[in-house]
Structure 1
Amino acid sequence: MTPTAKRFTAQLGEREIVIETGHLAQQAGAAITIRDGDTMLLVTATMGRKPREGIDFMPLSVDFEERLYAVGRIPGNWFRREGRPPEMAILSARLTDRPLRPLFPKNLRNEVQVIITPLVHDQVHHADVLGVSGASVALTLSNIPWDGPIGAVRVGLIDNQFVLNPTYEELAASILDLRMAASRDAIIMVECAAEEVDEATMVEALEFGHAGMQGFIALQEQMREELGKPKYEPDPVEVNETLRDEVTGKVTDRVTEIVSTYYDRDERAAELEDLREQIAAQYEPDPEAETGEEYDAKAIQGFISDVIKDQIRRRILHEGVRPDGRDYTTIRALSADVDVVPRAHGTGLFQRGETQVMSILTLGTLRDAQELDGVDPINSKRYIHHYNFPPYSTGETAFLRGPRRREIGHGALAENAVRPMIPDEETFPYAIRIVSEVLSSNGSTSMASVCGSTLALMAAGVPIKQPIAGIAMGLIKDGEKYAVLTDIQGMEDHLGDMDFKVAGSKQGITALQMDIKIKGISPEIMQEALEQARQARLQILDVILECIAEPRKDLSPYAPRIITLHIDVDKIGAVIGKGGETVRALQEETGVRIDIEKDGTIYVASTDGKGAEEAVERILALTEVAEVGRIYTGRVVRVEQYGAFVEILPGTDGLVHISQLASEHVKSTHDVVQVGDEIMVMVTAIDSDNGKVRLSRQAVLEGWTIEEAIENDRPSGGSRGGGSRGRSNRGGGDRGSGGGDRNRSRSNRGGGDRGSGGGDRNRSRSRNRNDR
């Protein structure tokens, strides 16, 4: 018999969050379900029974395990089961890991695993932030030592109003997507995508979110009092205090001298390494001695590292000098370049100090957009950014095993920073992929990727709305005293308390990400960091704009040109043809790529302008609509006693009544035309109800105007005088002859009206601005 679940509720914004525990996964350290609307997650937190030997870190793993049954789908792969976690699952796991990790005891060596499994995803309420909240509840109730609880919320900004935990529909109308986690007193984690939101508004959003999660934090404290298990107490780390004091005394003066003298990273590292070797040699056992005290070499190196950390932090905090000699707000030397790789559609090379990133852009058709197969309702994206961090970027070697979680996370951050500036499909109907290769790393490679992406986009001729730059901020904090650092390098990231990345334009912020190693920071520190980041961002943007002032007007000659056409929906079948034979033939014969949307939008892509033009003309011919008063050369497809049917356009026939076949009286239709004959005819009428087309050959022979043709084409009643018909598409789709205006837009930044004989054929076509 399944135990009865204990149920708790909390109000987050306008919705109720429901938590149940005690009835599922009873062997886990703690297991809960958490529900928002009909989105429900199972969250477990479990700890290994014994500490892991030989490690000096806290072994935490967080997994977000997507199951497609959550959205009522069966996986489409051969095995019909989930494989590697999709990108959104990895990002959700990272989102959960980051606020949890700082709150574990530093001396905990037992493995801790948090698993989040969406049981149901209603496609309305988000699962990522809900997973962070669920993980906090599970850890709070478990026997795992953890200094929570925390709350996690999403904040939107719609019509200048903050919204707590917006739905997918609401978020689509929001200019802010702020995800944050905090304790009762301080902010721990921030992840944000925005559309140029200013710094003051961002601080308000953080305060709004922090206030909105207080009730949820209070509920967890209540649950802990009622249901919480006794917390495991990890063994204290044994430290040889005598040895530590001795080593500290030996190295402090020399470390102080090195960090005060050597501002070059390589020189400083060489001096510190030499010191390490000297101290280690002093404690090596004498091989000739029969007895002697053995010392832990690893502990000795740890004591030296502690001294280095303390001296660098002290020097920053109390002397205002950073490891490379900079003050708090100075940015390292900047450089920007474009066109560093031949034949690429666009490249940007950005360098800040020893950090160097090359971003390479490729343009494709909308068919190249990435399909997203997961529980999230967003199923595709046309702007893709990938980030690679090879081992040579830090002068090391390692096995290459594909992108790791960190690389996926950094790529997503840089993608979010630039995405608001990408033009829409109507303006620029391309899929865009940028790959940022980290060539050299000494801090803030993700923000260098943002700058490299901007350079590549502008060099490629993508009409971005504004250039974007990014900077990483750091924090050194000791009690109430703190220092906010602009443009942190690797050592400051490693020894500091915060890594706060900020990206945006001159107008405002487009992305934030904050990770901390302490238990939280105040809104005041966040505000100071945001203002310093704004000043730095403006400096970097000046360097980018000095390299390339605006997006180029022309695409690379190696990039595809895309021409956009809009046709009637009922003409799509005429272009596709039976079983796709028409569109396949078009592509093979002209060397283009054709993508057809359900709304009648057609994209013709080619690097060969001549082939693209030919394909467009053939598509227009296939989808042309008859016009009253226009003269066509058509082919006789059927002869009847009362007249002849003439195909004037692909799939469109009209009737030439026997009275309109010639200037003189005609006794028999066969006396004038036969099947297969080509004759010139004028369209005199199109039936608005059924699309039937009525034609006149006599009007052409006599040179009549349309008014004269209509006046002279008034047959007597009966079916034989009832005009003509439009034939259905013989190619397998609807190619009906529908009447009315044949004014089709074909957007073309370089095109214009293409008048043709026999009447006004005003067709505008729209193509990409580099169509040649």
Structure 2
Amino acid sequence: DGRRVDEIRPLDAQVDLLPRAHGSAMFTRGQTQVISVTTLGPLIDEQIIDDLTPIEKKRFMHHYNFPQWCVGQTGKLGVLARREIGHGALGERALSYVIPSEEEFPYTIRTVSEVVESNGSSSQASICAGCMSLMAAGVPIKGMVSGIAMGLISSGPLDGKHPYTILTDIQGLEDHFGDMDFKVAGTAKGITALQMDIKIAGVTREVLAEALAQAHKARAEIRATMEKAISEPRPDVAKYAPKLDKLTIDVDKIRDVIGTGGKVINDIIAKCDNVQIDIDDDGHVVIYHMNRDMINKAKQMIEDIVREAKVGEIYDGEVTRVEDYGAFVKLFGNCEGLCHVSRLGWGFIDRAQDVVKVGDKLKVRVVEIDDKGKVKVSHREFVEKPAGYVEKPAEHKPFKGHKK
């Protein structure tokens, strides 16, 4: 087509083509064009692997679709062909090395590459488009991945006596009539995926090294075009993607958060607009929702359930029950403390009802937690002490035994 042997066809890169998608991008190289869409979901959406390998789950998936109309043909759409499965796996391998860990980014990630036009190496175009859609979705990838397909035209055996030419960015005819289709993908730091199809007996070390060096230059040129569209991952996920927050609770508190038959956690979900809550056996909790306020509300409810009062802590509580001997004050969540009538003020108080009533706000300090976990609080520290007040020593009446 008149290009130099190391020249790439015209490049174009765009992001945010689809406003409702979590992340979208389009990459064009000559007559090859791919649109990629990234969707984020909670970890519970992980793909379950049921085979003989030790891998049980997969949280990153890259799918590749090659409809017949992308090459100007018509026909029946059926199950995925070997080509689509293979190209999808190649793209997944290339991108998997830059995907953040579950601890860094606790999402399930699915990227789908739709080939809308193909004339040479749509698999590498899907890697470029997929990388940009991940960045547009706010996935904090470790580096930008680009890919290119290299070709080989030889005049005979690669024995040093017959000239050969290595081609950059081969198109359909060059792939068909050439001797090699060598796909190379990776970041600026290194290669993340390779695939070689050859029609000759093999290639020499020199040919391989020359092809990799030429591919390195091409990949850098492609990255420069991609960086013009999006230079780094977005700082946060998209507007329509689920937001998340994380916390860690004591393993012994998991059953308190879940409750009998899931009663407690279902109540949290209902009160927080069907928020998604994932709890691991090790106490890691991840909360997902489109609305950040609902996430914060659910997180606060969980923290209140697992929280434990400590001696010396101060709370702005609410009186929930009043008895003659004192008032019960809600500190947080389901935690209540008893404020004895003698702790409601500095002077003598006959009945707690004379000082407080249900619904009153009461500032208290935790003064004791007994062996059974019952909390005792005091309010009088926040009331002005009368001048000349002297604490009366506690009276200890001798035990006279039971009357018969």
TM-score, with structure 1 as normaliser: 0.46
1:459-506 Cα offsets, whole Å, 9 max, x none, are 222222211100111223321333222111112222222221110111
The answer to whether the Cα contact below 8 Å between 1:331 and 1:487 also exists between their aligned partners in 2 is yes
Distance in 2, matches of 1:400 and 1:715, equals 91
Provide the residue aligned with 1:627 in structure 2: 310
State the Cα RMSD in Å. 3.2
Provide the residue aligned with 1:567 in structure 2: 249
The answer to whether the Cα contact below 8 Å between 2:64 and 2:88 also exists between their aligned partners in 1 is yes
State the one-letter code of the partner of 2:254.
I
User: Per the alignment, do residues 714 and 327 of structure 1 end up closer, same or farther by CA in structure 2, a change over 3 Å counting?
Assistant: farther
Q: Which of 378, 388, 399 is the aligned partner of 1:697?
A: 378
Structure 1 spans left out of the alignment, 5+ residues: 1-323, 705-710, 717-772
How do 1:240-259 residues align onto structure 2 when only pairs under 5 Å count?
none
Provide the residue aligned with 1:397 in structure 2: 74
State the one-letter code of the partner of 2:286.
Y
1:267-322 Cα offsets, whole Å, 9 max, x none, are xxxxxxxxxxxxxxxxxxxxxxxxxxxxxxxxxxxxxxxxxxxxxxxxxxxxxxxx
Provide the residue aligned with 1:176 in structure 2: none
Q: Which of 151, 157, 169 is the aligned partner of 1:479?
A: 157
Provide the residue aligned with 1:510 in structure 2: 192
The answer to whether the Cα contact below 8 Å between 1:661 and 1:696 also exists between their aligned partners in 2 is no
User: Per the alignment, do residues 454 and 662 of structure 1 end up closer, same or farther by CA in structure 2, a change over 3 Å counting?
Assistant: same
The alpha carbon displacement at 1:652 in A equals 3.5
1:80-124 Cα offsets, whole Å, 9 max, x none, are xxxxxxxxxxxxxxxxxxxxxxxxxxxxxxxxxxxxxxxxxxxxx
State the one-letter code of the partner of 1:463.
P
1:421 aligned counterpart, secondary structure = coil
User: Per the alignment, do residues 543 and 673 of structure 1 end up closer, same or farther by CA in structure 2, a change over 3 Å counting?
Assistant: closer
1:596 aligns with 2:273: no
User: Per the alignment, do residues 432 and 328 of structure 1 end up closer, same or farther by CA in structure 2, a change over 3 Å counting?
Assistant: same
The answer to whether the Cα contact below 8 Å between 1:647 and 1:653 also exists between their aligned partners in 2 is yes
Provide the residue aligned with 1:556 in structure 2: 238
The alpha carbon displacement at 1:683 in A equals 0.6
1:518-564 Cα offsets, whole Å, 9 max, x none, are 33222222212111111110111111112222222343221221122
State the one-letter code of the partner of 1:398.
G
How do 1:200-599 residues align onto structure 2 when only pairs under 5 Å count?
324-477=1-154, 478-480=156-158, 481=162, 482-591=164-273, 592-599=275-282
How do 1:656-667 residues align onto structure 2 when only pairs under 5 Å count?
656=339, 660=343, 663-664=346-347
How do 1:754-769 residues align onto structure 2 when only pairs under 5 Å count?
none
1:109-160 Cα offsets, whole Å, 9 max, x none, are xxxxxxxxxxxxxxxxxxxxxxxxxxxxxxxxxxxxxxxxxxxxxxxxxxxx
2:91 aligned counterpart, secondary structure = helix
User: Per the alignment, do residues 467 and 698 of structure 1 end up closer, same or farther by CA in structure 2, a change over 3 Å counting?
Assistant: closer
Provide the residue aligned with 1:652 in structure 2: 335
How do 1:660-699 residues align onto structure 2 when only pairs under 5 Å count?
660=343, 663-664=346-347, 680-686=363-369, 692-699=373-380
Aligned residues: 384
User: Per the alignment, do residues 516 and 694 of structure 1 end up closer, same or farther by CA in structure 2, a change over 3 Å counting?
Assistant: same
Structure 2 spans left out of the alignment, 5+ residues: 386-390, 397-404
Structure with greater Cα Rg:
1
The answer to whether the Cα contact below 8 Å between 2:363 and 2:379 also exists between their aligned partners in 1 is no
State the one-letter code of the partner of 1:374.
D
Higher RCO (CA < 8 A, seq sep 6+): 2
1:558 aligned counterpart, secondary structure = coil
User: Per the alignment, do residues 455 and 675 of structure 1 end up closer, same or farther by CA in structure 2, a change over 3 Å counting?
Assistant: closer
User: Per the alignment, do residues 699 and 662 of structure 1 end up closer, same or farther by CA in structure 2, a change over 3 Å counting?
Assistant: closer
1:605 aligns with 2:309: no
Distance in 1, matches of 2:384 and 2:372, equals 25
1:696-730 Cα offsets, whole Å, 9 max, x none, are 335446468xxxxxx999998xxxxxxxxxxxxxx
The alpha carbon displacement at 1:679 in A equals 5.8
User: Per the alignment, do residues 549 and 668 of structure 1 end up closer, same or farther by CA in structure 2, a change over 3 Å counting?
Assistant: closer
The answer to whether the Cα contact below 8 Å between 1:501 and 1:514 also exists between their aligned partners in 2 is yes
Provide the residue aligned with 1:750 in structure 2: none
The alpha carbon displacement at 1:678 in A equals 7.9
User: Per the alignment, do residues 348 and 677 of structure 1 end up closer, same or farther by CA in structure 2, a change over 3 Å counting?
Assistant: closer
1:579 aligned counterpart, secondary structure = helix
Distance in 2, matches of 1:517 and 1:455, equals 33
The alpha carbon displacement at 1:393 in A equals 0.9
State the one-letter code of the partner of 2:302.
I
User: Per the alignment, do residues 337 and 672 of structure 1 end up closer, same or farther by CA in structure 2, a change over 3 Å counting?
Assistant: closer
The alpha carbon displacement at 1:615 in A equals 2.5
The answer to whether the Cα contact below 8 Å between 1:681 and 1:696 also exists between their aligned partners in 2 is yes
2:112 aligned counterpart, secondary structure = strand
2:36 aligned counterpart, secondary structure = strand
The alpha carbon displacement at 1:425 in A equals 2.9
State the one-letter code of the partner of 2:290.
T
